[in-house]
C-alpha cells in the first residue's frame, strides 16, 4: 500500500495565477480527503483550465450568480457543481478575489484509501488488485482497468472522495484545518501533454486540457 510521506500543503498564492498556469502546475500534486475512517488520496493526472470573461465554456462567462459565486472569490477554494442530474464536478478557484477563473479536476491516480474509494464507487476489488500502487508504471491489464473505474473522470473522482456541493462548495483547499486539501509530496512530472477540453460544445477548440503524458489513469 502506498503511504503518503512528508507532504507540503499548497499555499493560496499557488492559485493566485492564470488558470492555465495553475492547471499545468497541479499535475502530479495530491488531492487529500480526511475522513473519520482515514485518509483518501490520489495524484492529480488530468486538469482543465476555465477562464473568465471571453471563455464561452466557463460557468463564469455570464457573470456572478448564486451558483458560481465561488469562482469570483479568493483563490484556492472548492467550486463544486451538479451536472447531468447525476454527477458532481470539483474545481478550484484561481486568480485574486473578484477575478473569475478555475481549474477542473478530471482524473486522479488512486494512492491511499483505495479500498474505501472503491467501495464508495461500487467497484469490486480483487485480492491482488492493490499490488504496485504508486509505482511509476503499474502493470497488469485487468487490474488497471478495475482501478481506472475509481477516479478516472470528474464525476467518478467526486464519488470516490465523497465530494458534494452541500459538503464542499466554497471550502478552502489550502487551510490546515480543511478536510479537503491539495498537497505536494515531491513527485515530479516528466512530461505534460496538452489538448482540447472534453465534453463541451462552446470554445471547444482551445488547448486547455492538461494531462501527465503516458499516465494510464487519465479519463480518455
Binding site for DNA (CB under 7 A): 48, 50, 57-60, 62, 65-68, 79, 81-87, 89, 91, 102, 104, 121, 149, 153-157, 165, 197-202, 219
3-state secondary structure at position 43: strand
Cβ 59 to DNA shortest distance, Å: 4
Nearer to DNA, 50 or 185 (CB): 50
Which DSSP category does 2 fall into?
-
- For DNA, the closer of residues 170 and 199 by Cβ is 199
Give just the sign of the alpha carbon dihedral 161, 165, 166, 168.
Answer: positive
Nearest distance, CB of residue 8 and DNA, angstroms: 26
DSSP, residue by residue, 154-185: HHHHHHHHT--HHHHTT-BSS-TT-SEEEEE-
Cβ nearer to DNA, comparing 28 with 153: 153
What is the nearest approach in angstroms of DNA to the Cβ of residue 190? 25
Question: Would you say 60 or 174 has its CB closer to DNA?
Answer: 60
H or E segment to which residue 121 belongs:
helix 114-121
Minimum separation from the CB atom of position 111 to DNA (A): 18
Nearest to 28, CA basis, from 220, 218, 198, 219? 218
Amino acid at each position: 500500500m502506498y503511504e503518503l510521506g512528508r507532504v507540503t500543503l499548497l499555499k493560496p498564492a499557488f492559485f493566485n495565477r492564470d488558470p492555465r498556469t495553475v492547471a499545468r502546475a497541479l499535475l502530479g500534486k495530491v488531492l487529500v480527503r480526511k475522513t473519520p475512517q482515514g485518509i483518501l488520496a490520489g495524484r492529480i493526472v488530468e486538469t482543465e483550465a476555465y477562464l473568465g470573461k471571453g471563455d464561452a465554456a466557463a460557468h463564469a462567462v455570464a457573470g456572478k450568480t448564486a451558483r458560481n459565486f465561488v469562482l469570483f472569490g479568493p483563490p484556492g477554494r472548492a467550486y463544486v457543481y451538479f451536472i447531468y442530474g447525476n454527477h458532481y464536478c470539483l474545481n478550484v478557484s484561481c486568480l485574486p478575489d473578484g477575478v473569475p477563473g478555475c481549474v477542473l479536476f478530471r482524473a486522479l491516480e488512486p494512492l491511499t484509501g483505495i479500498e474505501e474509494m472503491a467501495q464508495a464507487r461500487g467497484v469490486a476489488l480483487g485480492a491482488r488488485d492493490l499490488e504496485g500502487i504508486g509505482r511509476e508504471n503499474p502493470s497488469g491489464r485487468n487490474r488497471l482497468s478495475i482501478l481506472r473505474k475509481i477516479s478516472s473522470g470528474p464525476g467518478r473522482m467526486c464519488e470516490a472522495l465523497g465530494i458534494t456541493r452541500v459538503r464542499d462548495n466554497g471550502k478552502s483547499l489550502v487551510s490546515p484545518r480543511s478536510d479537503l486539501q491539495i498537497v505536494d509530496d515531491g513527485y515530479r512530472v516528466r512530461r505534460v501533454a496538452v489538448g482540447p477540453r472534453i465534453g463541451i460544445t462552446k470554445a471547444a477548440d482551445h488547448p486547455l486540457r492538461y494531462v501527465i503524458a503516458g499516465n494510464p489513469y487519465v479519463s480518455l
